[in-house]
Structure 1
Amino acid sequence: MKEYLLTISQLGKISQTHVKALRYYQSIGILKPVYVNPDNNYHYYSLAQVTLVQIIKLCTENDVPLKDLKRYLDENGETIALKDLIDYAKNLVENKIAKAQKQLDYINYIQEEIQHSQEIHQQHTLHYVLNEARYWVEPFDGKILSEEYFTKLLTIEEQLNELGPLPIKRIGLLLRYEYGQKAPFICLKLEKLPPEPHPQIITLPEQRNHIEHVSYEDLAQRISQIETQFQPQSIFITETFEDDYDLFSPHLEIQFDEAE
């Protein structure tokens, strides 16, 4: 029997796991020796336990509390409900991958916005034909980048999470002008729509927009100038991400529709 057993050092070498970690796994009851030499109290492990150690490491690397593993072992620690444990671990890893992908998408978005800001700086203003797009909008009469603004965004993001993974591109304030009245909203551009229609989702048609940067301090004055000079149907204000980002006085991007 002994020729098929491993010392704790051998188990550590084969599984590429520090002996101290293996001793810890043993102390909490998730890695039990299959044989203890009565003469010297040396602990021995089976070759099959190499797989168990690999699974334990996989779980720890994905933030699974080790105590959770005990429910997949029998009372004696001799058998493990491997299918159930692997299903559980797979779900955790998939969730972690989805979270990492969401973070990567955000990084890519910031990079795109930096490039977009550079274009505005180089040309001072841009004139784009913006394609038809869908936005999630909710009434909001506060200031952009305020505590109230970010609190509202968190509430909206919770609602969106309940509807499924809905990638968001641009976030900001939308001012809509109809019949001489101005209606302010907080808005999020949706890259994907939920399965069912939702009253908070609106469609903005394709339109030619003027795009420029404005300082946070000058925003209210610039909006007033645009309203007087251009009488737009909508104004969109969003945060910018620049190569050298001013943390004390960030630039904002302002868009408004132009007459043909």
Structure 2
Amino acid sequence: MAYKYLSIGEMAKINNISVPTLRFYDSVGLLRPCYTDPNTRYRYYDIRQNARLDMIQYMKELGMELKEIQEVLASEDLRKIEAILIKKREQTIAEIEQRKVQRDAIDRAIESMERYRKSPKRGTFTLEYIRPRKIYGIETDLNFYDHDIDTYEVILKKLKMKLLEHNVPPVYYCNAGTLLKKEDFLRQRFVSNKIFVFVDEHFPLRNEVETIENGMYACVYLDEFGDEQEFAGRLLKYCQDQEYEIAGDYICETMTEFNVFDTEKRSMFLRLQVPVNFTK
């Protein structure tokens, strides 16, 4: 037997793969030993078969499946290889975008939890600079302030269904918000027919995204959905006492939800906020 022949163990070792992997390649016809010893019936690989094994490993690194590798190697058609690689490139680009969305969602979740831990206690008023934010929302035929949290859940579910229709990832389903027009907030007239979620630059329905401008916001924090109207009234009084000018629409933002701690209802930590100008 010439030195150029390698046992399956030697072939596996020099290529840094396992013996079972080589046995599998053999069983599916992807790479079979080329020589059988007539005396021992042991089978051996030719050292030149490393070139084909290198190609198999290279194609796997490009994301090709073994069935695809077997097909293109059997066809010896470069155009077929190119077509498969173009398809793999498109899939890889889509996966990268999906990972970016997931990464940003993780960052938002961490930020939300940190913000919750460091936020002031219930009923505390603050004056905060808030960066520009993007939202996606839907109009409803109900004023959910006329109903209880069960109706709010129904409306929230409609928003989620709308997102599902457009294959929007579930990572955008949290951190919902509602708003009152400036005039309604000033009159403490609670009428709202819009619910939204905060989104980012990766959100797929970009043409339907609105921007909330940056600015100074008077805020108050609370942890009970049913207390929003009372605390919104407190927020208005606080602005009046400080002689702040209401500069835009009021927002109720769900900063954090910890439903893992309460299976009976939505555990919400809310930030009520309204943009203000300073008259003094």
- Give TM-score scaled by structure 2 length: 0.66
Q: How many equivalent residue pairs?
A: 246
State the Cα RMSD in Å. 4.3
Q: Distance in 2 between matches of 1:134 and 1:14?
A: 54
Q: Paired residue for 2:197?
A: 188
> Cα deviations across residues 165-187 of structure 1 (Å, max 9, x unaligned)?
9x979731212236646223232
Q: Distance in 2 between matches of 1:131 and 1:159?
A: 27
Larger Rg: 2
1:98–1:51 CA distance, 2 compared to 1 (3 A) = farther
C-alpha spacing 1:89/1:101, structure 2 compared with 1 (3 Å): same
Looking at structure 1, the residues matched to 199 and 16 of structure 2 have their Cα atoms a distance apart, in angstroms, of 45
Q: Retained in 1: the 8 A contact 2:8–2:22? A: yes
% identical aligned pairs: 14
Q: SS state of the match for residue 173, structure 1?
A: strand
Contact map agreement 2:128 2:219 (CA 8 A) in 1: yes
Aligned match of 2:11: 11
| 1:50 aligned partner | 53
The whole-number CA distance in structure 2 between the counterparts of 1:5 and 1:223 is 83
1:257 corresponding residue in structure 2 = 274
Residue of structure 1 in register with 2:135 after alignment: 135
| CA shift in 2, pair 1:236/1:84, >3 Å | same
CA contact (8 A) 2:116 2:255 kept: no
Is the 2:138–2:196 contact (alpha carbons within 8 Å) kept by the matching residues of 1? yes
CA offset digits 1:187-229 (Å, max 9, x no partner): 233433889983x3333334432334422xx312223441576
Q: Report how far residue 57 of structure 1 moved.
A: 4.5
Matched, 1:153 2:160: yes
Matched to 2:55, the amino acid is L
State the Cα distance separating 1:122 from its structure 2 match. 6.7
Matches of 2:206 and 2:57 in 1, distance apart? 46
Amino acid in structure 1 at the alignment position of 2:268: H
User: Which residue number corresponds to residue 28 of structure 1?
Assistant: 28
Secondary structure of the residue aligned to 1:115 is helix
Partner of 2:242: none
1:230 aligns with 2:213: no
Q: Secondary structure at the match of 1:183?
A: coil
Superposed, 1:17-166 pairs within 5 Å as: 17-29=17-29, 31-33=30-32, 35-37=34-36, 39=38, 40=41, 42-45=43-46, 46-55=49-58, 57-58=60-61, 65-74=65-74, 82-121=81-120, 124-140=124-140, 146=153, 149=156, 152-153=159-160, 155-156=162-163, 159=166
Residues 67 and 213 of structure 1, relative CA distance in 2, 3 Å threshold: farther
Q: Secondary structure at the match of 1:240?
A: strand
The equivalences for 1:175-214 within 5 A come to 175-177=179-181, 180=184, 182-192=191-201, 198=207, 200-214=208-222
Greater shift, 221-230 or 11-20, is seen at 221-230
What residue number does 1:240 align with? Answer: 256
Which residue of structure 1 lines up, in the alignment, with residue 241 of structure 2? none
Q: TM-score, normalised by structure 1?
A: 0.70
Q: Secondary structure at the match of 2:192?
A: strand
Structure 1, unmatched stretches of 5+, are none
Whole-angstrom CA distance in 1 between matches of 2:111 and 2:43? 60
Gaps in structure 2 of 5+ consecutive residues:
238-245
